[in-house]
Structure 1
Amino acid sequence: MRRVAGLLALAAAAQAQAHAQPPATVRVDYQHSGNALSDQYALERVVIEPLPWPGDLSQNVDTTNRGQNMVEVVDAKTGDLLYSRGFSTIFGEWRTTEEANRISRGFQESVRFPAFGKPVKVRVLKRDERNQFSVAWSVEVDPDAPDVVRKQAPAPAKPIPIRVSGASPAKVDLLVMGDGYTAAEMKKFEADARRLADHLFTVSPFKERAGDFNVWAIAVPTGESGVSRPSTGVHRASALGTRYDIFGSERYVLTLDNRALRDIAQHAPYEFIEILVNNDTYGGGGIFGQFSTAAAGNDWANYLFVHEFGHHFAGLADEYYTSPVAYQSSAGRMEPWEPNVTALRDPAKLKWQRHVKAGTPLPTAWPKAQYEEYARAYQKRRAALRAANRPESEMSALFREDLTHTNTLFAKAAHRHDVGAFEGANYEASGYYRSEMQCLMFDRSERFCNVCNDGITTIIDLYAKKRVGK
C-alpha cells in the first residue's frame, strides 16, 4: 500500500507540474457505417472528459504519415491547423472482409484532442486511391455548446499507477485495461498488468526509452471470469465487451463497444490502450491509434502483448502471410503506409534504404519455398487442434515447435542478418516484402527488426520528444 500511495503522490505531483492550467480533453463520439463500397459518418455526442489533456501541446501536429485515417482539428474561423493524429479503425478492417460485400454495418468511433477554448472544425480524413489523405467528414464543435456532456457518473474503478516516470505531457501514457476479471481477481489483474508492462520494457526500443513512459491500469470487475469466445459456445458479460472470433477469426480479440471503452478509460491519463483479457486461449489484436488486446493467461502472453502493441502504437503491419485471415486479397499492390512493409515498386527508393548494405540484392533471397512447405502442414495441425478444442498446452507446444523449425531453417540462410526486401508479408505470399528475414511482427521471435525499431521510435518521439540532456 505504501508503494501505491507513493506512486499516486508522484503522479499527482507530476501532473501538477506539467501545466498550471492544462487544457481539458475533448472527445467526439460518432458513428461510422457503410459497406465495402461506401461509408457515412454521424455525430453522436461531444464529451469533456474528467481529466485534463495528457499530451505535449508543442507536439500537436502529426507528420508521421501513419494510419488509414487522420483527424485534423482546425480553427473554425481561420482554418488554421491546431491538432492532428493518424489512426486506423475497426470499420476500415471490416470493410475488407467478405461480409462487407453483402451488408452494411455501423461502428462506434471517437477522436480526442485538447480543448482550444473556441469553436473548431473536426475533420476525419481517409486515404484515397492515390494513397493521399482527403476529407471524408467534417463537423463543427463548440466546446461551450449546451449539448456538450460535461458531467458524468463517478469512475467505476480506480486507476492503478504501474510506472510513473514524470508529468504526462512529457511522457507517453499507456493505459492497461482489464476485461473478464472478477472482483476476487483484481489482484491478479494488477499482477498481470505489472508483469506484461515490465516485459514490454525489456524489448528494444521500448527498453532504451522506458523513462519516456507512464503506465496506468484500470479494470471494472465482471460477474464471471474470462471473456466471450462464441466459437466454443462461451459467452460472458463484461464491462468492455471484449471477445474472441472477431470477423470469424478464432484468435482475433477486440471490443466493438467503443462507448464503454472510452467511458472507462477517460478516468486515467492515456494516449494508448492495451486490454488484457483474463483468458488462457491464444489471442489478441491491435488497431493503430485505437487499442490493442492480449490474452494475459496464455503461455505466449509476453509476445502477444508486444506484437499487438506494435500494431496499435506504431502502425506496424503484420509481416507473416501463411496464417489464415478474414481479409480479402486485393489485386493491386499499392505501397503500404505501414513503415515495415513495401510493395517494392521502385527498389531504388526503398523506404528503409539507409539500413541496406551495398551489394544486397533487392528482392532478397531467403528459403521461402521450404518455409511455405512446412507452414502448410503446420497450419493444418493448428486448425485440427482448434477444431477438436484440444487443451491450450498442445497449441503452445505446436507454437514452440514452429518457432524452433523457423530458427533452424533460417540459421544457415545467406542473408540471415541482412536488411533487404524479403518477399512475403502483409498477409500476401507475393507482391509485398518485409525488411528482414525474421522479426517480432513476422513470427513469435523476441526482437523487432531494425525498420520496426525505427517505426516505434518515431512515435515515441511524437509523444515524448527527445530533450537536451536525455
Structure 2
Amino acid sequence: MMFNKKNLIPVPVLLSLLIFILILDLPSQAQETIKFDDYFLDKAMRINFYQVGQAKEEQIIINNIYQEPIWPESKTNLTNPFNYGHYFIKVYEVASNQLIYAKGFDCIFGEYKTTTPALNGVSKVFQRAIRIPWPRRKVNLVFEVRDKKNILHPLAMETIDPDDYHLIKENNQPQDYVLEIKKSGPPAEKVDLVFLAEGYRAEEKDKFVSDAKRFAGYLFDIEPYRSNQEKFNIYVIFRPSAENGMDEPRQKVYKNTVLKASFNAFDLDRYMLTEEGFLLREMAAEVPYDAIIVLVNSKRYGGGGIYNDYCITTVDNQASQAVFLHEFGHSFAGLADEYYTSEVAYNDFYPQGVEPLEPNITALLDPEHLKWKDLVSPGVKIPTEYGKEEIDQLQAERRTNFQEMTKALEEAKKKNLKEAEIKKIQKKYEDRGKATQEKIKAVQEKYRYLEDKVGAFEGAGYASKGLYRPMMYCLMISSPKIEFCRVCQRAIQQMIDYYSH
C-alpha cells in the first residue's frame, strides 16, 4: 500500500479530531504512567515520508511503513523530556486517547523553507524517515510543526493499525559488511551509534573501519563523552561506492556514491548533506542505532548535522575532528550554531523576540530566568561585555583589507607589473592586516579573564545582535581548544542519560 496525501487527514478535519485527543503540553507528566510493554512490542516502526512545499505551505506524504526487528531506544523515556526540534511526532493510542510516545526532530525541509527560493514560492520535495516503537494496538500518528513563535500546531495525522497487512514486515538481513567495534550493554540501555560509509570503494573497507574507530576516539577524547564511554555501543556499516568522495557541484564534480552526499546544500559551499533519507535509514537499520554518523571519504572541509536525523563529515581534512564534533552536537544533542559571522543560506532562522529552542543560545528576553543561570560564573554580568564591538569592527577592517589586496593584485597582474612591484603591493596590505590583527589581540587580551567564565555573550545563531551564547569559546562557534563549553557539555550529558536509562 502506498500511503499518500489522500490517506492523511487534512488539517481542518485534523483540528476537529484533535479535540478528542488528549494533548499533553508537558510530555514528562505522562511518562510515569507509560509502561513500554503495555503499549509496545520490542520492535520498531519506520515511517518513510515526503515533505513537500515551500515557505508558506507544506505537506506530509507517507510513502511506506516498515517493521524493524528491535526497538533500540529507551523503553522508559517514551515521551521525550526535551522541547527541541521544529517538528514533533506524537503517538496516541486510539482506544484510550493516551499519549504514549513523543519525540522532536528537525529535517532538511525545515531548513529549506527559510531559504530565499522557498520564500519566493519554489516548492521542493525531501525524503525523511522517523521511527516509533511498534504499537500493540491501533494508534493515531500526529505530525506537528512549530510556527515562528515556536508554538506547535498539527500538520497531519495518520491512523495506523499494526495488524494492517500493507505494513512491510520484511526480514531485513544485513546486506553490507557490519562490524561491532564497541559493546557496553543492551541497546535499549545504551547510546547506540552507527557509522555509515560514503564514497569508499570496495578496496577501501579497511580504511573506513580505521576512520570510524578514529572518529569514535575523537568523541571519547573530550567531555562529556570521555566520562560516559561505558554508555555507548558502536557499529560500522560498509557498503562500497563506485567512486571516492562526494558531489561538488560548484566544481562540476559529480561522483557515483551510495548515499549521494553533496556539498553546496542550499548553495552554501561548505555545507554537505545527503537527501537519500530512505536509504540512509534502511542501511542504519541493519544494526540497533540511536544516532547516525556518515563518514565521507574526502580531504575537503565541510559537513552537516540535523537534529535526530544524522551527522555527516569528511574524514581527511585537518579540521575534520572539530567539524565532526560540531555537527554531531547538532544531530545528537540539538545544539545550535553559536557563530554569527559566517555565510549562511537562511533568512530569519531565529525570529526576533522569540526564545530559541536550543539549550545553548538565548534571546535573553528574561535575564532573570536565563536557561543556564545556574551555571553562570560568580561576578559575571548578564549580558557579558567582552569587547565584541571593537573586535567586530577590526575583523571587518581585516576582511576589507583582504578584499582590497586581492583586487589590487589582480589589477597589478593585468598591468603586467614586475614581480618586485607586485610583492611590494602585497606587503603593504599584509602589513596593514598584521597591524589590525595586533589590535584584535590587544582587545582579546583585555578580556582574557572571561575565557573560562559562563555568562551571556552577544553574537550567536547567525546573528550579531540579539542572540547570546554561554561562553566566549566552544566547539559550536570556534575554540582554541577542542572542547565544548560547560552549557553544551550539560546538554550532551542529558541526551546521553536520556538514551542510556
TM-score by length of 1: 0.86
SS at match of 1:267: coil
Q: Which residue of 2 aligns with 1:454?
A: 490
Residue 441 (structure 2) pairs with residue 422 (structure 1): no
Do the aligned partners of residues 190 and 45 (structure 1) sit closer, same or farther apart at CA in structure 2, a change above 3 Å counting? same
Question: Which moves more between the two structures, 117-126 or 356-365?
Answer: 356-365
Aligned-residue offset at 1:358: 4.3
Residue deviations 1:369-401, cap 9 Å, x none?
34324544676769x99xx9xxxxxxxxxxxx9
Question: Which moves more between the two structures, 339-348 or 158-167?
Answer: 158-167
Residue 157 (structure 2) pairs with residue 165 (structure 1): no
Q: Which residue of 1 aligns with 2:90?
A: 72
- Structure 2 Cα separation of the partners of residues 462 and 405 of structure 1: 45
Question: Which moves more between the two structures, 54-63 or 353-362?
Answer: 353-362
Residue deviations 1:210-265, cap 9 Å, x none?
11111111121011111111111110121111111100111101101101111111
Q: Which residue of 2 aligns with 1:264?
A: 283
Amino acid at match of 1:88: D
- Structure 1 Cα separation of the partners of residues 174 and 451 of structure 2: 51
- Structure 2 Cα separation of the partners of residues 405 and 303 of structure 1: 27
Q: Which residue of 2 aligns with 1:48?
A: 67
1:364 and 1:415 in contact (8 A); partners too: no
- Structure 1 Cα separation of the partners of residues 284 and 439 of structure 2: 41
Aligned-residue offset at 1:134: 2.5
One of 355, 359, 376 as aligned partner of 1:339? 359
SS at match of 2:230: helix
Amino acid at match of 1:455: A
Do the aligned partners of residues 235 and 22 (structure 1) sit closer, same or farther apart at CA in structure 2, a change above 3 Å counting? same
Do the aligned partners of residues 374 and 257 (structure 1) sit closer, same or farther apart at CA in structure 2, a change above 3 Å counting? farther
Q: Identity percentage over the alignment?
A: 34
Residue 363 (structure 2) pairs with residue 363 (structure 1): no
Q: Which residue of 1 aligns with 2:243?
A: 224
- Structure 2 Cα separation of the partners of residues 406 and 24 of structure 1: 56
Aligned-residue offset at 1:406: 8.2
Amino acid at match of 1:430: K
Residue 296 (structure 2) pairs with residue 277 (structure 1): yes
SS at match of 1:276: strand
Residue deviations 1:32-75, cap 9 Å, x none?
111111211111111012x3111221121101111111111111
2:41 and 2:136 in contact (8 A); partners too: no
Give the unaligned 5+ runs of structure 1.
1-18, 389-400, 466-470
1:353-432 to 2 correspondences below 5 Å: 353-373=373-393, 375-376=395-396, 410-413=444-447, 414-432=449-467
SS at match of 1:52: coil
1:322 and 1:375 in contact (8 A); partners too: no
Amino acid at match of 2:270: R
Q: Which residue of 2 aligns with 1:57?
A: 75
Residue 495 (structure 2) pairs with residue 443 (structure 1): no
Do the aligned partners of residues 179 and 374 (structure 1) sit closer, same or farther apart at CA in structure 2, a change above 3 Å counting? farther
Do the aligned partners of residues 405 and 274 (structure 1) sit closer, same or farther apart at CA in structure 2, a change above 3 Å counting? farther
- Structure 2 Cα separation of the partners of residues 191 and 350 of structure 1: 43
Do the aligned partners of residues 219 and 325 (structure 1) sit closer, same or farther apart at CA in structure 2, a change above 3 Å counting? same
What is the aligned residue count? Answer: 430
- Structure 2 Cα separation of the partners of residues 288 and 342 of structure 1: 18
Do the aligned partners of residues 454 and 426 (structure 1) sit closer, same or farther apart at CA in structure 2, a change above 3 Å counting? same
- Structure 2 Cα separation of the partners of residues 152 and 374 of structure 1: 61
Give the unaligned 5+ runs of structure 2.
1-36, 411-433
Q: Which residue of 2 aligns with 1:214?
A: 233
Amino acid at match of 1:295: T
Residue 298 (structure 2) pairs with residue 298 (structure 1): no
Larger radius of gyration: 2
RMSD between superposed Cα atoms in Å:
2.5
Q: Which residue of 1 aligns with 2:118?
A: 100
2:247 and 2:253 in contact (8 A); partners too: yes
- Structure 2 Cα separation of the partners of residues 305 and 318 of structure 1: 13
Aligned-residue offset at 1:407: 8.3
- Structure 1 Cα separation of the partners of residues 285 and 438 of structure 2: 42
SS at match of 2:60: strand
Amino acid at match of 1:435: P
- Structure 2 Cα separation of the partners of residues 407 and 454 of structure 1: 30
- Structure 2 Cα separation of the partners of residues 408 and 169 of structure 1: 51
SS at match of 1:371: helix
Aligned-residue offset at 1:332: 2.2
Amino acid at match of 1:458: Q
Amino acid at match of 2:71: W
Amino acid at match of 2:356: P
Do the aligned partners of residues 348 and 322 (structure 1) sit closer, same or farther apart at CA in structure 2, a change above 3 Å counting? same
Aligned-residue offset at 1:155: 2.9
